[in-house]
Structure 1
Amino acid sequence: MHIAKWAVVLSIFWLLLSGFIEPLLLSFGAISVVIVLFILKRMDKVENEPGQIGTSIRLIRYTPWLIGQIFSSAIHVTKLIWGSPDKVSPAIEKINAKDVPASSRVLYANSITLTPGTLSVDLDESEVTVHALHKSSIEELQKGQMEKKITGIWGENK
């Protein structure tokens, strides 16, 4: 059943990104979706855990919050770039991620990367190495707001 969900999601995603509805391009899209589904099916056999699509309320709770974080970070980065160059203070630090469930650590690292001005460089068992344009972005991550949000929404017990 999850293969059918993935087929629908990938097809819609491909149509949204391509924007073309011509027979040749639709056939390319169908072929690419079939290839991805084939790879997904093979990965399911090896992993013994089928990749499920989050069809629950979790996605609805997480997406608007992440979009808000992206916009506020974009405003912060714009102020840094348009301001004086001495305001930019790049930093690289390890952020603790041991409280984030193992199944959500990649989501956590990607959420950090999606917010402008920060980039997840490395992901270990319990830490995410983050590069930021300004030290305050690292300090904000160390406060743990994003970690708490992801753990609260995507935690193991949900």
Structure 2
Amino acid sequence: MSQSNQASKLTRRLGRAAILFALLIVAWVIWSGHYQPLLLILGLFSCLLTVYLTHRMGYFKNNVFALRFGVRLLGYWAWLAKEVVRSSLDVARIVLSPSLPISPQVVEITATADHPVDQAMLGNSITLTPGTLALDVYEGRIKVHCLTAAGADDLLSGGMDRRVAALRKR
């Protein structure tokens, strides 16, 4: 391997580490809400430790877990937020109903996307949506517990799966 190629790979790894570090710092400062010097130093230390451990795990050596930031991903997050709110209202209505109209069931869906990150994103999106819980993801098949038959039918229609699969397309 040539020196310029090695230098290029090192530069990409350092760039990825720097981006992760910056994102961790920003997230820590925003979510913690603590701005005392000691706590800022401890937050900085925890972010450095996280970047070091991810480096040791080989996270920066490949692009397997690299997110593809773009308009599609932002659009997906907006759609998912709307679905979470809609499902939250449905679950609240069910729980507050005196008859408690639930029909729990486990269904299995097959993910259209074959990339492991996309399958994990689909499983996490299902779990984030109230009334559904991804129980298992294995070889593209996802077992999901649904609180209602309507929730199961909605999931089996494949709308969420299609949206996650569309994220991979360029």
Same-fold call, TM > 0.5? yes
In the alignment, does 2:90 pair up with 1:76? yes
- TM-score, reference length from structure 2: 0.83
In the alignment, does 2:52 pair up with 1:38? yes
**What is the RMSD of the two structures over their aligned residues, measured on CA atoms?**
1.8
> 1:19-39 CA distances to partner (integer Å, 9 max, x unpaired)?
100111111111111111112
The residue aligned with 1:146 is 160
Larger radius of gyration: 2
Separation in 2, partners of 1:45, 1:15: 24
> 1:6-52 CA distances to partner (integer Å, 9 max, x unpaired)?
11111111112211001111111111111111122123369633643
Structure 1 contact 2–53 (Cα < 8 Å) conserved: no
Query: Is the partner of 2:133 in helix, strand or coil?
Result: strand
Q: Structure 2: which 5+ residue stretches go unaligned?
A: 1-14
The residue aligned with 2:81 is 67
Give the ranges of 4+ consecutive aligned residues of structure 1 lying more than 4 Å apart after TM superposition: none
Please, which of 89, 94, 106 is the counterpart of residue 108 of structure 2?
Answer: 94
Query: Is the partner of 1:87 in helix, strand or coil?
Result: coil
The residue aligned with 1:121 is 135
> 1:79-119 CA distances to partner (integer Å, 9 max, x unpaired)?
1101134401111121111x123230000000000001111
The residue aligned with 1:55 is 69
Separation in 2, partners of 1:150, 1:121: 18
Structure 2 contact 20–51 (Cα < 8 Å) conserved: yes
The residue aligned with 1:21 is 35
Q: CA offset at residue 78 of structure 1?
A: 0.8
Q: Percent identity?
A: 28
Cα–Cα, structure 1 residues 54 and 13, in superposed 2: closer, same or farther, change >3 Å?
Answer: farther
- TM-score, reference length from structure 1: 0.89
Q: Structure 1: which 5+ residue stretches go unaligned?
A: none
